[in-house]
A = this chain, B = another copy of it.
Amino acid sequence: MKRRIALISTGGTIEKTYDELSGVLANQVSVLDFMLATLELRGVAIQRVSLMNKDSLEMSAEEHTLIAETATRMSATLSGVVVVHGTDRLAISGERCCELIGTPASPIVFTGAMRPYELRSTDALQNLTEALLAVQVVPPGVYVAMHNQVLQFPGVVKDRDNGTFVKAPR
């Protein structure tokens, strides 16, 4: 039987699409459904929640709290929660979850991408695939799954030099 999980989209690089008129990549429409259509999902039944579609550099403190509250609330009734998020401020929403609830009832797994799904070469599908698998096998907690790693909050930070996430040195 498939695990019921929530997939919360908040925007970020992973969801940016190309606007021909302006010639830039921006958060316009969600591409998550296109991404999901390319995957074979036998383990989870997904409940899609489109919370916002923003570059995380533009998120307010209230929006980080809204994301954390939505994730922790849904983790209480489902088998897990995946949150798609811009990487620049992903760690803020992750830490906010820990502050709100400590250990959630079921795993909350954040993910995102360094290169939009719209690009020919992208880490978007890899990262979404990893988050949708990790949410089934890790114990309750708050995590980021990306680039072949699952790291647990608190204490995860973006390593800007290497374009990925790492555990913060103590």
Q: What is the interface of chain A, defined by CB distance below 8 A to chain B?
A: 13, 16, 18, 20-21, 23-25, 38-44, 114-123, 125-126, 129-130, 132-134, 136-138, 145-150, 160, 163-164
Contacts and interface: CB of A to CB of B under 8 A. Distances in A.
Contacts of A136: 148-150
- Per CB-CB distance, the 9 closest pairs between chain A and chain B, nearest first, are A43-B148, A40-B147, A43-B149, A42-B147, A41-B148, A129-B129, A130-B133, A42-B149, A20-B114
Q: Determine which residue in A40, A44, A116, A132 has the highest number of CB atoms from chain B within 10 A of its CB, and name it.
A: A40
A39 B126 contact: yes
Q: Determine which residue in A21, A41, A130, A147 has the highest number of CB atoms from chain B within 10 A of its CB, and name it.
A: A130
Nearest to A42: B147
A55 to B, nearest CB: 8
Contacts of A129: 126, 129-130, 133, 148
